[in-house]
Structure 1
């Protein structure tokens, strides 16, 4: 059956592919190979398949090369855009920090002015009270003097009547009249002195009232100035605290629990951020200003707590140099085994030996070799947060060492189970892995 089919094909293909013979000659004999039309057709078909495979393979390689070049160019453009955004964010952060510092300086100057003016006002009130007491004493003295003068006049009138009615009593009456006249002269002198003192007290009172009016006017001007300063400070505090609130919320941190924990660790009292004691004797405007000042002081204390918490949580980037995010957090294809597995951190690829820094204050709990991670460091921070750094070429810290934010802890490398130079960076909260980019991206608009 097969031979009949092949013979049929040979007959059909004979006009197109005639039967050929390939002679092989040696010293002793001559042989030939018969190339039937079907054999020639199979050879031509095989050659065409080989040429087509070569063309398709070359096209695939060229397309892959072109795609890789476009990907690298896009990655470089993205990197330049990212660096530009980082520089702009850093400049905005510096400007906001400078504005907050200037606002705090203006607030301190305003508090000093308020304290000086309050002291002047209290001194003026004390002086007014003293003048009022002096006037009361003078009025009492005047009433006593007038009463004594009236009694002396009555006595003189009685003496004159006695002298006019009884001549025998002239001598003792004359002595009594002389005594009454001397008493009257003393009383007149005392009245003149009292009147002079009264005029002086009245003049001093008028001067004190004028000074009090000037002080009240100055206090009103100062209240207006303080109101402008308070508004600027309140705006500055709102601008400073709102990004921090959003930063902690975006990182998934419980701000109330965090603030309580920081306050328990920093519970000392005293200093410029303590609330101002307020007397109930002061005017309403002063009370309002002090309430606003105490509210600002409370917000500054909260801002200070946020600053401490931000330095204790890993909001900074462990790399200050340029890098490429080569692997994200989550499930991925394992680069060595090819299987699907959970990736508990992020991979940040960069040049060999790139400096690695700790993003927050903490204590080194492990610094050494791990079979999978290679050169490996773990740092324990506040709020149950732990950061891990793997595949480093060198370690710059030791176990038990306390590190601050920005301290170098190692160099980028490719030790352990690694396919190339990169940093494997993990963040764990209560030993549960979380996405490190939540902290890094949350601080983009703050730090």
Structure 2
């Protein structure tokens, strides 16, 4: 067993993407993955931990219960302007807790997000997509695809699933974005989450009095406390809206930058399932996860000691040539099973089947309706979400028809 690496530690998580290639992970991550797929890293607050970039190393850490997801045990891998300890996860935040609390919540929710249940939503998602494509055609031919299409599909779907009025989005959209910004202070994040939870709490009171056919009404009949219900409802609302919105927008950006792949999906709808997995792999929006060792654990010949934080880079792992041949090529015909865009292990994305349904509808419907879709600005002028923990685009100006 090798207890220490002889190489110097990396100074913080590399975040600078190669110029002109927003879909590629930071160059330094690729170099590390090829040389040291599990490397020592000095965190911005001085903590000496680890950075996992290899696919096998990332999977091993994410599935091992000896690594904790609790925020208060972890150290931030990027400089966010504070060196203080991370606050514990708000009540109901499934990403920042461990068993048995996590197990209880997960078991309660998993039956609501099964493959069968999510597929039953397909017809409704298709109608939402068609309605917004019709609106685009009336409004076009130049518009922002995020506002016109990428946000409404998951937004309306998760709101209808939860029983949240989509017309109230202005009450929670800004708070969701604040919670996602790397530059937000701990206090700002807490305030944002409390505002979302207060909104859900108010809504849940109405659901308890007059239940309707939705997930939030179902949860009011569970053994969740009022605080837990508000927390879980807010967590599901934020996760279901922001991540898939960015995946639809960023995935479309990738297709527009690879006209051959855009044409392949347009001409062969049978590619839809593999296209979704490949876009999740190639245009990974989840930058990195965090874990903290609860005891000494050996991973790939390296000893990670109790208390050490580990940053796991899904975007680097999804470009690992040891797992995916020619990983820097977007190929919608690729078998991209094993991509880590939804994470792995017990904290794998709870709503992944819902997200797949939404993307399996959104991408082919868009390229079929607008076969001449193109960027309305130069690629370098598309505003990227560089300061967010979920990558993507703030806007995606598009056009269609004759230039």
User: When you count strand as a share of all residues, which structure comes out higher?
Assistant: 1
User: When you count helix as a share of all residues, which structure comes out higher?
Assistant: 1
TM-score category of the 2 structures, normalised to the smaller one: under 0.3
Q: Which structure has more RCO (C-alpha within 8 Å, separation ≥ 6)?
A: 2
